[in-house]
Amino acid sequence: MTQFTDGYWWSPDGLRLHYRDYAGGDDGRPPLLCLPGLTRNARDFEPLAEHLAGEWRLICPDMRGRAESAQAKDPMTYVPLTYLQDISRLIADLAITRFVAVGTSLGGLITMLIAATHREWLAGALLNDVGPKLEADGLDRIRAYVGVGQSHHSWVHAARALEEANRDIHPRYGLEQWLAMAKRLYRLNSGGRVVLDYDMRVAEPLRVTGGEAGVDMWPVMAAFRDIPTLILRGERSDLLSAATAERMAVEIGSGAELVTVPDVGHAPVLDEPEALAAVYRLLSRVLHG
């Protein structure tokens, strides 16, 4: 496994939060701030770090309620604006002025909020299978599984459960890939059971009547103009439609590249050959324009 150091910071409301810090080179290039999806954590970016760490610094936070970060006292703080406040504090503590935001799903929504409020922070951006419009089928699927506790006898049992629930998302995966994903999503509890590594209460804001309604995020696409931006979409995605992704590219303009990762659903892991090649192109644009 690629080496990293553990770091901690405090949220504005007093939670001790954790991040992984993969060292990069010393040539002054901006770090990658890797923001995970709703039920994911810093480990979600292990596949990307395997390719980039050492050359690029990767800062991978566990959002509140995930993995090694403290759980919120109020579950209604499990919302993007609060995550933005938490991340803003981390950026300030690390004295980072510019970075490449790598946002998967929820992390992409946080990236959009960063663009809307502090676009000067963004040296580049990757929006991984997420956009201003989210498809109802994908949202319904997410609501159906988020916050539903699971407990397994072994890592293989957890991997098989993941395969059963997600084989349409990664149809080419074998047991080795499902095991690797299980170890990113689950943890071993004190009773020796393999359980999901997040606070089940992250689901509560999703279940509030009207909770899916928010501000119109389409105007935010203009904030990415002149910023190297990669829009990544899984070909089988049920959350980001091809039409939405294409409109995003048009709204952002010449700074955007749209790449569809074949035979993958929501969301690409970022080690797929097409995804990885696109990431390298994005980082080359960040460095060289």
pLDDT in tens, 240-273: 999 999 999 999 999 999 999 999 999 999 999 9
- 45-54, 69-78, 122-131, 145-154: segment of lowest average pLDDT: 145-154
Interval 57-66: pLDDT, tens = 999 999 999 9
Average pLDDT, the chain: 95
Q: What's the pLDDT band for 145 if we cut at 50, 70, 90?
A: confident
Torsion of CA 37, 43, 45, 50, to 10 degrees: -170
Task: Report the pLDDT value the prediction gives residue 214, as an integer from 0 to 100.
Answer: 61
Tell me whether strands 186-188 and 194-196 are parallel, antiparallel or unpaired.
Answer: antiparallel
Query: What's the predicted TM-score (pTM) here?
Result: 0.96
Please tell me the CATH code under which domain 5-146+201-288 is placed.
3.40.50.1820
pLDDT in tens, 156-199: 999 999 999 999 999 999 999 999 999 999 999 999 999 999 99
13-45 residue pLDDT tens? 999 999 999 999 888 899 999 999 999 999 999
Residue 181 in contact with residue 270, Cβ under 8 Å?
no
Which range among 34-38, 101-105, 142-146, 207-211 shows the weakest confidence by mean pLDDT?
207-211
Tokens 């799903």 belong to 105
Nearest alpha-carbon partner for 36 in 52, 58, 11: 58
Q: Which helix (H) or strand (E) is 22 found in, with range?
A: strand 16-22
For position 226, what pLDDT does the model report? 95
The answer, yes or no, to whether residue 213 has pLDDT greater than 70, is: no
In 153-223, DSSP assigns E strands to: 186-188, 194-196
Region for 95 from its dihedrals, namely left if φ exceeds 0, alpha if ψ lies in -120 to 50, beta otherwise: left
Do 146 and 39 meet the contact criterion of CB atoms below 8 Å apart?
yes
Per-residue pLDDT, 150? 85
Domains in the chain: boundaries: 5-146+201-288
Q: Which amino acid is at 263?
A: D
Structure tokens, 113: 């909020």
pLDDT of residue 211: 45
